Structure 1
Amino acid sequence: MQYKIKVKPEDFYVKEIISLPIKDKGQYGVFILKKRGWNTVDILKRIGKNLGIPFRNISYGGKKDRHALTEQFITIKNIKKKILFKNDNYLLQPVGFSEEPMDPRHIIGNEFKIVIRSISQKAEEFLYSPLQSIEKYGFINYFDDQRFGSFDPKQGFIGEKIIKGHYNGALKIYLTHIYPEDKKEARERKNFLFENWGNWQKCLSVAKTQMENFAFNHLIENSKDYLTILRKIPKEEMSMFFSAYQSFLWNETVRRLLVTLLSDEEIIVHKGIVGDYIFFNEIDKEKFGYLVKLQIPTASSKLKMPDEITEKIYKNILNEREVKPSMFNLKKIRQAFFKSVKRNILVKPESFKYTIEDDEVYENRSKITLSFFLPRGSYATMLIKRIFAKKPQRRQ
């Protein structure tokens, strides 16, 4: 079933709900940032530059999509005035002060209003069943595709390469992986680096970024010292690489658990970047009772699975990938680490409402308008994937 999201920025509206105490005075100014057409980091760098404020003084809880209309809270350290700052695509609105900076732990969740467009009118009647299933059961709380931007289909995960000590491979992915948003020049340069990897002089001849220049100059003098370069990767980037690998392992564990629990008739799927997402439309009371209480931790050296079923599945995944739990305890990379966090397998949206009507943008097509609240860390795009999941041609 075909569909389109984010046709207009206002088709994907996200409002952050937080627990940060807001006061009349404090070391940190608290602001609501409303934006469209910008990702969070880029717009904050622009605002900081315009206000003469170092980026390190600006804190936020989460990154919001550039292809959306979003509201989130930020804090600015040591700002005394309630500055209103705006242009056509963003608004920085003061709301008070705080004794502490904004942080992910202050996010309770997000309110969403989403329009899904260009749906065949013949498919309308088939949409009520998944929508009602979401109301009844919720949906599987997978990490969604946007978590896997650094995954390279040919080369794999940077995080996995690092824990295995394959530093050459990790650095190669870091400097040659092509992201969807990369422009033509960057794509061509990265392809050249990939094809000429190991010929450091050739690689240096096309180097453009500060990291590329440092890396290839260093490798010309120290041809096998990849670790020194990896240690230069910023903490936030390295944390994202580790999180991507943890998310993959978590998703794969849940996928295999569902294949174990569900019959072929119960399984429905939606395609993903790193494996299909498995869902169910109906499930018996006992299986649902098991899943709704189950929490799976993300990978680390001291991870403990909740029961024998999940323990066996997780061990099989690690064995297949030739990974041992002790490998997650890194000794040579220190700017980031693998922290285990428990995550619910099922998440149920609160205040879930929907309407299906004619699409005013696409002639003779339908649209769904959704509104709901999700707790921190859950993906609205995964809820959409659940709606449009379908029977697989064969068992996954």
Structure 2
Amino acid sequence: MPTTPPESQHVLVLNCGSSSLKFAIIDANDGHEIISGLAERLGDKAPSIKYKFNGTKTVIDLAANQAHAEAINTLVSLIKDHNLDDQLIAVGHRVVHGGEHFTQSVLIDEKVIAGITQSATLAPLHGHANLLGISSAQASFEGLPQVAVFDTAFHQTMNEVAFLYALPYKLYTEFGVRRYGFHGTSHFYVAGQTAKLLEQPIEQSNFISAHLGNGCSVCAIKNGKSVDTSMGLTPLEGLIMGTRSGDIDPGLFNFLTTQLDYTAQQIDNLLNQKSGLLGISELSNDCRTIEEAALAGNKKAILAIEMFCYRLSKQIAAYMVPLQRLDAVIFTGGIGENSDIIREKVITQLAFLGINCNPQANLNARFGQEGVISCKNSHVKAVVMPTNEEWVIALDATNIVKEL
């Protein structure tokens, strides 16, 4: 007998940056994107909204200096024009920093707003944008439940040994200075999907997940839970990234201020916007551009890739300490899903873990195709697993709405 199709569970997912707004309507049943797009250059002279619906891409130019509220108002009209508003059951918000207040996704109310506001001081660029997106969505989608999903929540299972800095303890107790980690939604999703792929319970799975994009982080996942991760108080700590330096000697701050007369703002801009792959290659923060230049013999591009892979391999190897036993290394994110070159270099450097790359499987896994890319006789598997943070947000929002 034919089965009754599941009831549509459409969730509007919003991801607000300081000058951008990424959005999608997701069917939580299967992760299908009904409509998706990006509002960018908000608050600038030429903001716009680019979106995709039914396979057609469209660009809407906004008036000069329009910001998040106006962009969401335009998005509301767009949703209504396509008759998608009646099917929405909730709005899900990606919130970058939840501090220690939030260990899971929550229905947004005044107390949640207060908690997000307090955590926003730890990530002001992202936090204030998230709050602006929430307030704008509440005004535009009055009556729809609003749900906050936190990048930091998955990592709240880390213990003090992993999350504390070796600083005066009162900086933690009084000001919340500790390691929080980010990309939690992505690490959570790919770990669950990898467990399904390998046909083993997530509760008995030990993975090291590498989310590699313009922002990069590694997460040690023991029995399905995060026990350590490479990002810290902010998303600057850890790996070499597109424009971020990752780990540096803190003494650099004193050198830059006393010897080169840098201001605090100039140092922040240097480490977050001008470093990483861009700083080393002096070409681009885009890995594809750097790989093309490296293949053409550009020495700085070659160096950038070698440094990126070396630091990533070291971080993965270090996480054998908390895990002791490893089932698989997971590659995800824009670079992790698409760069067979970087995956092969990293796997080769990790051969001592009992992991060997299958060159053809690695090549076949380009462009977001999931699969095992290690040889059959590898003691540890290597897996490419496309991430889908929007689907996780939609699922969490749906589950919370069901409980209302």
Give the shorter-chain TM-score range: under 0.3
Determine which structure has the larger helix proportion and give its number. Answer: 2
TM-score by length of 1: 0.26
TM-score by length of 2: 0.25
**Which structure would you say has the larger Rg?**
1
